[in-house]
Amino acid sequence: MSESHERTFVMVKPDAFQRGLVGEIVGRLEDRGLKLVAMKLLTPTQEQGEAHYAEHEDKGFYDDLVEFITSGPAVPMVVEGEDAISVVRDMIGATDPKEAAPGTIRGDYALDIGRNCVHAADSPESAEREIDIYFDEDEKTDYEADFEGWVYE
């Protein structure tokens, strides 16, 4: 694995799950050439929600974030690829969907910052922390995807 080959955390949030967008979002990640190494369907627990948004604990919107992320089914996943963190962040678009470019997930599927469809880690440290909130080590799969030679030189 090259130095720029990394894993990141992505979650289809409860709003996108309820709207039937899981397949579309996962499909976009796969179409781009990112490799799924872990994925599950769950309703985040209070503990997971609090840990997920721990960096915002002292902000006025923290309780709303936790309440929303724990409000229903979500799909956390781990994806892998060259510069996966920045690639995924670019794919999902600006946090506020009104500022997200058309063609991004949020730009195409969201209108409200509180219902912006998807979360993605913003740094290697966040990715590692968020992956550990939702996945045990044995839930992540290492494998060589047959398509990788057609995605990377």
Out of 5, 52, 56, 119, pick the active-site residue: 119
Q: Which helix (H) or strand (E) holds 79?
A: strand 75-82
Give the DSSP letter of residue 54: G
Count Cβ atoms within 10 A of the Cβ of residue 143 and give its class: 0-12 exposed, 13-18 middle, 19 or more buried. exposed
Q: Which residues pair with 57 in a beta bridge?
A: none
The encoded tokens of residue 150 equal 């057609």
- Whether residue 119 lies in the annotated active site: yes
| Rounded distance between C-alpha atoms, residue 40 and residue 85, angstroms | 20
Q: Which helix (H) or strand (E) holds 119?
A: strand 118-120
Catalytic residue list:
119
